[in-house]
Structure 1
Amino acid sequence: MMKKMLSVALILLLFLAGCGGSGENIESSGSSDSDKIKLSIWHNFAGDDFRAAEVREMIEKFEEEHPNIQIDEQAIPVDGYRQRVSTVAAADELPDVFLTYAGSFTDELQKSDLVQPITPLFEENPEWKDSFLEGALDPYDYDGELYSAPVAMSSTSFLYYNKELFEENNLEVPETWDEFIETIDFFNEQGITPLAMGNKAPWVAQSTTFGVIADRVTGTEWFMDAVNQDGASFTDPVFIDALSHFKELVDHNAYPEGANSLDNTQAEQYFAQGEAAMMVNGSWTISSLSVSVSEDVLENIGITTLPAIEGGEGEGNTITGGPGGGYLLNSKAEGATKDAALELIYHLSNEEAQKAIAESNSMVMYDLELDENAVNPLFYEAYNLVRDANFAPVYDIHLTSAGGEAVNNGLQEIMLGGDIEKIAENIQRAQSSNK
């Protein structure tokens, strides 16, 4: 127990997944509530977007199809989900099934023996397993045992832009960092906010913007060495340079005043309403805007990758992301509860589920023939953009909880005028203390 409490206290992370489908049926006759298998599930699909509604509907369908199973479902808002799971994990009181995220979040849960493999699901459904895209299952593979199946693709750093604002001002979408800064300066001169951002939950700046900037400057290899504290430090000049590029955006007034007090949804609406010319955000924005704005607004939004940074060690055409979240099975689940939980996980992760999620305008890492007419134009454009781009690591997927928190807090400090060298020292101290 002490091992679990100490390890799980380090857990952190967020980012985006969902789904539906169906697995093998557990036979039962009508029974009273006291005879039912009680199964708890937590996820963060609490919003009004298509994906969230689809996930909740599929859980409801599962319960209807399994009258012998009583589902206790908790849909927890994204910004508070990570902390809720960390809190109950520290007390070893996790639900039977719960949404997780690839990387350090799942790593800590697995190391702490709080979850168990779902390998039998893949052995029983080999076609399902083989249909995941290359590398999709890797983050959930621990010594040959698979603990989850991604129900999303994490794409966190698209550059969205307002087509009309660019056309009206005879501007091309920037392809280099210098052009990006010039574009920011131009929109400021016109009284238009250059970049929308809502960093109230401090993961936003890190996940959507800084990670991809840093990868362009440092390259992925340096970052992974720094994560592992293997010959690289977050006080190295190359990382200071990465922080300086983010500070350059702040110094050029790229963001709206009070961006650290706005949440991500407010920033999305600020951009959609034409108050900002651009926004760096994840694929989840496509899903949320699909249900909150008109078709005309969607058609006016363009999408591309962040500009390359000349002289950087990393590639230019990259998007931070990779396999998204999936569902984990509590290590304490056994017997009929375990069987029901496995069936529910399959129901939320199989091919039917992956297709439903994709058609709710949300990215998946599953081999699907996507019907252009089944999704909105913005999603289809993003879908094809991802297919031609490479992935760079999302910082807080790989950093320790302490390291990720130090980056998040440090970026907020930079937005308030903080000293980047002191912030780098704090990040290095936090990451090295857990290695």
Structure 2
Amino acid sequence: MTTAKISVNVKEQAILAQKASKELGMLSTQDKNDALYWIAKAIDEQVEDILKANEQDLENGRQNDFDAAYMDRLSLTEERVKEFAEGLRQVAQLEDPSGEVVSEWTLDNGLNVQTVRVPLGVIGMIYEARPNVTADATGLALKSGNAIVLKGGSTAIHSNRAIVKVIKEALVSTKISPDAVQFIDSTDRSATQQLFTMKEHIDVLIPRGGGKLIQAVVNNATVPVLETGVGNCHIYLDKDADVDKAISIFINAKTDRPAVCNAAETLIVHEEFMERHQEQLISALKSSKIGVYGDDAAVKLIPGAMPANEEHWENEFLSLDVAVKIVKDADDAIAHIDRYGTKHSEAIVSENEDTAARFKGLVDAAAVYHNASTRFTDGSALGFGAEIGISTQKLHARGPMGLPALTTIKYVMSGNGQIR
């Protein structure tokens, strides 16, 4: 397909989505919920077809020697498919933000003023690898009254194609037009570039994937961007941490699913904690098969640890490796996070409430934890049903973006002939 042809097709799809968004914005909450339940039912019934398509993508990944972390993000199982179908049902059960009156007052002249939540309009979703995003993003978009244009990565083309087919076929039996969900069925990069500049038809772009993808969208788009971020997440074990709690939290954050953005990448340890609990920590690292890259102190204390360089401190491992830094106090830990963190998720383990309060107050991140794993920075885990991404920026939305993040406000005034 030529670039010119791709350009026309993408524009046509964006126009269709824009038209469908107008109709979608007028539907009732019940109409939208019914559609989500119908889609979830269709996904449950067509799991085998989705998994067959996913196997094509996985085989391509094996032939191209994709690393284990990438293959994990790309992989679907029956359980994972059932999970995103259930996520749609959870979204259907959530309160609909669209139409909510956020505030209301009446001026001295009798003019009534309301601020009302309304859909953003058309969401352009640009994402890599994770085919579950196709269902999650669609569910959140439709429930909040938005149409969506999906542009997944080429490595998940078969999986995404199969999931969208199920969604659009299901929508035929609902009051939501299938045009509200558009899938750019192309692996050509120029198709993605087209989305960057369709400001007249796309209201917001949401990139979800690696740092290179996100920065490419942020740096090149003329459409407003809701920026999601990579997760260079830290766990700080304070001198006043309970050792059992500390090790359990760290091991969960590092090993539960190492290839995801809310997994821990750096372990910061107070020197007094290390002195008292060195054997237990080393045992936990060894039994969990975690590879260690550390600063000078960590290399001396942890058998098999390799010296860490700037890349180890700055980047996500997305594997069973971790960077370890030994510090003198919480302020040293905070300084390290300030320098290397990506403002995603950071955690302190401590029984000292004052230290924890200082950490929570000073650390600049979308999610900050005290005595809990960073793995909870997730829309489903926090009760959103699903998430469209985790925003690490500060304007409009921050953290896991659920339904309210996909709305804006409109001022609605009602009068009786007032003039100024």
TM-score > 0.5 by shorter chain: no
Larger radius of gyration between Structure 1 and Structure 2: 2
> Which structure exhibits the higher relative contact order, with contacts defined as CA atoms closer than 8 Å and separated by 6 or more residues?
1
Q: TM-score range by the shorter chain?
A: under 0.3
TM-score, with length taken from structure 1: 0.24
